[in-house]
Amino acid sequence: MMANHDNVKKKSPIIHTLSEWFPAILLFLGTIVLWQILVTVLKVPRYVLPSPLNILEIIIKRGIDLVIQVGWTMLEAIMGFALGAGVAFIAASIFVHVRLIERSMLPWAIVLETVPIVAIAPLLTIWLGFGLAPKVVIAAIVCFFPVLVNTTRGLRSVAPQALELMHLLSASRWQVYFRVRLPSATPFIFSALKVASSLSVIGAIVAEFTGADRGIGYVVVSASYRLDTALLFAGITFSSLAGVVFYQIISGLERLILYWPGARLPE
Amino acid sequence: MMNVDATNNNIVLSNVGMIFPGEQQVEALRDVSFTIRDKEFVSLVGPSGCGKSTLLRLVSGLIAPTTGEISVRSKTPAQAQADVDFGFVFQEPVLFPWLTALENVILPIQILGKRSPVKDQEVIAYARQLLADVELSGFEKHYPEQLSGGMKQRVAIARALIYHPPILLMDEPFGALDEFTRDRLNLLLLHVWEKIRATIIFVTHSITEALFLSDRVVMLSSRPGRVMSIVDVPFERPRTFDVRFTQEFTELTAELRHMLQLREVADDGQP
B264 — pLDDT class (breaks 50, 70, 90): low
pLDDT computed for residue B119 by the predictor: 78
- Closest chain A CA to residue B99: A260
Is pLDDT at B4 greater than 70 in this prediction? no
Which residue in B62, B84, B96 is closest to A164 by CB distance? B62
pLDDT at site A36: 92
Rounded to the nearest 5°, which phi and psi values hold at A193?
Answer: -65, -35
A163-215 confidence digits (pLDDT tens):
999 999 999 999 999 999 999 999 999 999 999 999 999 999 999 988 888 89
For chain A, domain boundaries: 1-43, 50-257
Which candidate in A158, A161, A168 is best for mutational testing of the B interface (most B CBs within 10 A)? Answer: A168
How large is the average pLDDT for residues B26-46?
Answer: 90
Chain B residue with minimum CA distance to A181: B96
Cβ of A183 within 8 Å of Cβ of B98? The answer is yes
Contacts of A186 in chain B (CB under 8 A): 98
Domain range A50-257, CATH class: mainly alpha
Q: Do A165 and B88 touch (CB under 8 A)?
A: yes
* Nearest-angstrom CA–CA distance, B210 and B202: 8
Which of A161, A167, A263 is opposite residue B98, by nearest beta carbon? A263
Count Cβ–Cβ pairs < 8 Å, chain A vs chain B. Answer: 58
Percent of chain B exceeding pLDDT 70 equals 94
Residues of B with CB under 8 A from a CB of A: 57, 60, 62, 81-82, 84, 86, 88, 90, 92, 94, 96-99, 107-108, 110-112, 115, 143, 145-146, 163
- Which pLDDT does position B209 carry in this prediction? 92
Question: What is the band of A1 on the pLDDT scale with cuts at 50, 70, 90?
Answer: very low
- Model pLDDT, residue A4: 45
Read out DSSP for chain A?
Answer: -HHHHHHHHHS-HHHHHHHHHHHHHHHHHHHHHHHHHHHHHHT--TTT---HHHHHHHHHHSHHHHHHHHHHHHHHHHHHHHHHHHHHHHHHHHHHH-HHHHHHHHHHHHHHHHS-HHHHHHHHHHHH-SSHHHHHHHHHHHHHHHHHHHHHHHHT-S-HHHHHHHHHTT--HHHIIIIIIHHHHHHHHHHHHHHHHHHHHHHHHHHHHTS-SSSHHHHHHHHHHTT-HHHHHHHHHHHHHHHHHHHHHHHHHHHHH--STT-SPP-
Q: H/E element holding B71?
A: strand B67-72
Give B156-186 pLDDT, tens digit per residue: 999 999 999 999 999 999 988 888 889 989 9
Distance from CA of A265 to the nearest CA of B (A): 13
Among A62-76, A253-267, B11-25, the range with the most confident prediction by mean pLDDT is A62-76
DSSP B160-187: HHTT--SEEEEESTTTTS-HHHHHHHHH
pLDDT number for residue A83 = 97
Q: pLDDT tens digit string along A115-151?
A: 888 888 888 888 888 888 999 999 999 999 999 999 9
CA distances, A224 to each of A130, A227, A266 (Å): 20, 5, 39
Q: From chain B, pick out residues whose CB is under 8 angstroms from the CB of A168.
A: 60, 62, 81, 84, 86, 88
* pLDDT average, residue stretch A78-84: 96
- Flag whether pLDDT at B268 surpasses 60: no
Interchain pair B84, A179: CB under 8 A: no
ipTM of the complex as predicted: 0.85
Of A161, A169, A263, the CB nearest to B111: A169
User: Are B92 and A180 in contact (CB < 8 Å)?
Assistant: no
pLDDT of residue A3: 43
Give the rounded percent of residues in chain B with a pLDDT score beyond 90: 48
CATH superfamily placement of domain B11-81+93-269: P-loop containing nucleotide triphosphate hydrolases (3.40.50.300)
Q: Please tell me the predicted confidence (pLDDT) of residue A112.
A: 81
B122-163 per-position pLDDT tens digit: 899 999 999 998 889 999 999 999 999 989 999 999 999 999
